[in-house]
Amino acid sequence: MACLISAEPFGLITRGDLRRCIDEGQLQLHYQPIIDLVGGAVSGVEAVLRWRHPDLGWSSPHDFLALVEASDLTHHLGFWVLDTASLQIARWRAQGANWSLSACTSLQQLQYLPYRNGLQRMFVNQRLHPRQLTLVFSASELPDGARSFRQLSGLSSLAVEFSLAILNTGSVDPLWLQSLPVKEIKLAPRGQTPRSACPAATVTPASLLKAAHGRRLRVVGMNVDTGREFRTSQELGLDLAQGDFVCPPMAADAVFARLSRMGAIAGLPGP
């Protein structure tokens, strides 16, 4: 049986383990608030997958994602996340929380017809308005530029918003933002740029921010885990932020209770 070799303690996780975790309800979504850096309102939450392994305890996606991607469960798991999260958003909406939902995806998943059909059914069932869903994909998936742009442009019929997560600013040319059909980019305030993969000069968070705001894109500070990174996000002029300094990912009831105590339930105006 194939297994994933990873860092301890999740050294050996089998595909059978992965299938059982889905069938036996060991997966759970946690939610991380995304806040407006100007007014402080909660604009939405990002769904974060967690696996409660019966022997090893809680794990985050990086512990088992490689195995998921190597299996035939990728699309099933990706839609499970969206289906589960959209139900939770509907429950929160009934409680007065008008939040949008962000969820990670991939270009491969977006090209999978049953995944896209599932999204459409979710919208028809009125759990979530398309404009309340932001699908986040990594800039590392754009190695070939034009082909990736065409793929995304062909998905405009989904009517959802796309977000480009940029962990390494040196891998992205700001000119891409003129063509990519995205409404948002995510930047880490620390913004490492060890080596530019683009023909342009070294790209900085500030240069990407300028290019994004030139197209009126939202800019989200991700992995904002310290007070210093929070202040840097504000000083750079980012629009939104998420990270452990704001609030770590938490189970649905826990994050709602925490934000209720903060008086941050209403969120920003919906579509």
What confidence tens digit (pLDDT) does each residue in 90-144 have? Answer: 899 888 888 999 998 888 788 788 888 888 888 877 677 888 899 998 888 876 5
* The predicted structure's pLDDT at residue 11: 44
List of E strands, the chain: 3-5, 12-14, 27-36, 42-53, 57-59, 100-104, 133-138, 161-166, 184-187, 218-221, 240-241, 250-251
Q: What is the mean pLDDT of the chain?
A: 78
The architecture that CATH gives domain 28-49+76-262 is: Alpha-Beta Barrel (3.20)
Q: Is the pLDDT of residue 64 over 50?
A: yes
* The predicted structure's pLDDT at residue 212: 93
pLDDT (average), residues 197-205: 59
pLDDT (average), residues 178-206: 68
Instruction: Output the 3-class SS for 200-252.
Output: CCCCCHHHHHHHHHHCCCEEEECCCCCHHHHHHHHHHCCCEECCCCCCCCEEH
pLDDT (average), residues 240-245: 95
Residue that has been written with the tokens 């996340």 in this structure? 81
pTM above 0.85, yes or no: no
Q: Give the pair of three-digit tokens for residue 44.
A: 């939405």
The type of residue at 167 is: L
> Phi and psi dihedrals of 36, rounded to 5?
-75, 125
Which one, of 240, 269, 254, lies nearest residue 40 by Cα?
240
Q: Is the pLDDT of residue 196 over 80?
A: no
